[in-house]
Structure 1
Amino acid sequence: MDHAHALALYDREMREHARPDGPGARIERAGRVVRQVAGPLDWNGVLWSRLDASDADAAIAEQVAHFGALGLEFEWKAYGHDRPDDLGDRLLAAGFTAEAEETLMIGEAAGLDLTAREPDGVRVVPVTDARGVDLVAGVHEEVFGTDASRLRHRMLAQLAATPDTLLAVLALAGDEPVSAARMELVPGTGFAGLWGGGTLPAWRGRGIYRSLVAHRARAALSRGYRYLQVDASDQSRPVLERLGFAPLTTTTPYVRTP
């Protein structure tokens, strides 16, 4: 995989020319900033910018005013190669709070190791209804320690309105959900995104996460997607590298509450 080409394509297709990521969301272009505006239960924020030291502070102030007038919390999703170099410091000075840095990893689906299967005693099932969504949300809350009401709302809306953009799966041991993950498919692009892969502590170290990555990668390849993208934590990065993903840059969410 040509890393520079893949990153440039990601910036162009997934950020600069982004599509709304769910029903009711809209993409707006304000000068040299691309943002998504949705609602209080959906993701709102800045996806892409082309700024420099001369206009960054004014652009940041404009976004703060815009989302503040709507009464919406929003995220400025900043990447390690974004400009100006001190964009993060400028966001902090404007009242944003930085969340944990992650690594943007991209893999060419045809070149990944897709041989991993679920371990003995575990089966992978698709999520197609509200009960399955509730089980995914329950795993998410237990693994990540965060409220999953927004995730529940988003998944239900996608399954109802645009089911071809979401593939969610549960790993079950008997009838017990022990891991969950989803894949966001972006029609008209070459990218599918892997999200939410989380396994209950008692079930880690058995290859479940690896098998769910391979399961979703096979599904993306069968649907004609060339690249898989992950915002990887330090825990998942080594597994993804062994499967063939490459780290291309970092990504840090800067969040501002009105």
Structure 2
Amino acid sequence: MDDLLAAYDDQLRGDAEVRSALRTMRLGPALLAVFPDGFGFITCRDLPPGDPAPFVRDALDRLRADADVRVVEWKTRAHDRAPGLLEALAAAGFEEGEAESIMIGEARLLARDVPLPEGVRLRRMTSPDDVRAASAMADQVFGDPVSEDRAEDLLRRIARGGELWAAESGGEVVSTGRLEPVPGTAFAGLWGGATRADHRHRGIYRALTAARARSALDRGIRYLSSDSTEFSRPILERSGFRRVSSTTPWEWRR
């Protein structure tokens, strides 16, 4: 597990996290990014020495100076040594979100045949109309307004080599998830998993995950990583994935 965590830190943090950003900037050891739909993002492995509060305020100020940025996420990891960071984030107006498990394992562990419920089919979404339909369904599952910016971001990710998969029932998208290869590494990420409440606990998400794993293997990708909620973590654990750490988003909202 130490090797997996080291690979995560070395290959999946920093530049790998902001490949799809509209723009990025450096602030000491931190990487700041602005994504579509007014989403600001901060990632940092090692804090500068001393009190982190001024550093946190400076990083936030640089992003909120952009009037289009409506939310800023500082992505923390449980295994980082960051004394005083959480207190500094709270003092700067960030609010703690739900922790997620960082799961890593070999793609072959997920590439299994999973039976689908009758009337459900899986396919890779590539056309703009299909991508927008899948994006709108995910927005609704997460309780967000349907966002054209997020749909356009998905289309850009696909153009750069990412994949969007969906499950459909009765002509409607009921579950979706992305596969995002990380160039120059043996990894791809499993992201954006969302399933409509009326189609959960039917094996659809497991089948969608298996389809993405098979596609990863076809592309020569060995490892998959996922920031998993308590809904998806058990699925990955039962397949042999390891929980190497956890990550918690801290959010500031305008």
Q: Same fold (TM over 0.5)?
A: yes
User: What is the rounded CA distance, in whole Å, between the counterparts of 2:244 and 2:105 in structure 1?
Assistant: 10
2:52 maps to which residue?
Answer: 56
1:194 maps to which residue?
Answer: 190
Specify the code of the residue in structure 1 equivalent to 2:98: A
Question: Within 5 A, what are the aligned runs for 1:108-187?
Answer: 108-112=106-110, 114-149=112-147, 150-159=149-158, 161-162=159-160, 164=161, 166-187=162-183
Specify the code of the residue in structure 1 equivalent to 2:155: L
Deviation track 1:172-225 (CA, whole Å, cap 9, x = no partner) reads 124122211112222222221112222222222211010011110111111122
Specify the code of the residue in structure 1 equivalent to 2:16: A
2:201 maps to which residue?
Answer: 205
User: What is the rounded CA distance, in whole Å, between the counterparts of 1:20 and 1:244 in structure 2?
Assistant: 28
Look up the SS of the partner of 1:248 in the other structure. strand
2:43 maps to which residue?
Answer: 47
Question: Within 5 A, what are the aligned runs for 1:1-150?
Answer: 3-18=1-16, 20-22=18-20, 25-38=22-35, 41=37, 43-51=39-47, 54-71=50-67, 72=69, 73-112=71-110, 114-149=112-147, 150=149
Give RMSD over aligned pairs.
2.1
Q: Is the 8 A contact 1:60 1:94 kept in 2?
A: yes
Report whether the alignment pairs 1:220 with 2:220: no
1:232 maps to which residue?
Answer: 228
User: What is the rounded CA distance, in whole Å, between the counterparts of 2:3 and 2:138 in structure 1?
Assistant: 33
| Cα pair distance change 1:225/1:42, threshold 3 Å | farther
User: What is the rounded CA distance, in whole Å, between the counterparts of 1:204 and 1:257 in structure 2?
Assistant: 31
- How far apart are 1:147 and its partner, in Å? 2.4
Deviation track 1:139-160 (CA, whole Å, cap 9, x = no partner) reads 213322222414213113334x
User: What is the rounded CA distance, in whole Å, between the counterparts of 2:183 and 2:193 in structure 1?
Assistant: 22
Look up the SS of the partner of 1:116 in the other structure. coil
Identical aligned residues as a percent: 37
Deviation track 1:27-66 (CA, whole Å, cap 9, x = no partner) reads 4332121222345x26421122301661522321220121
Look up the SS of the partner of 1:18 in the other structure. helix
Q: Is the 8 A contact 2:28 2:48 kept in 1?
A: no
Look up the SS of the partner of 1:138 in the other structure. helix
Look up the SS of the partner of 1:209 in the other structure. helix
Q: Is the 8 A contact 1:28 1:37 kept in 2?
A: no
| Cα pair distance change 1:179/1:158, threshold 3 Å | same
Specify the code of the residue in structure 1 equivalent to 2:143: G
- How far apart are 1:111 and its partner, in Å? 3.7
- Give aligned pairs, total: 251
Specify the code of the residue in structure 2 equivalent to 1:253: P
Structure 2 length as normaliser, TM-score?
A: 0.89
User: What is the rounded CA distance, in whole Å, between the counterparts of 1:234 and 1:219 in structure 2?
Assistant: 25
Q: Is the 8 A contact 1:113 1:243 kept in 2?
A: no
Look up the SS of the partner of 1:146 in the other structure. coil
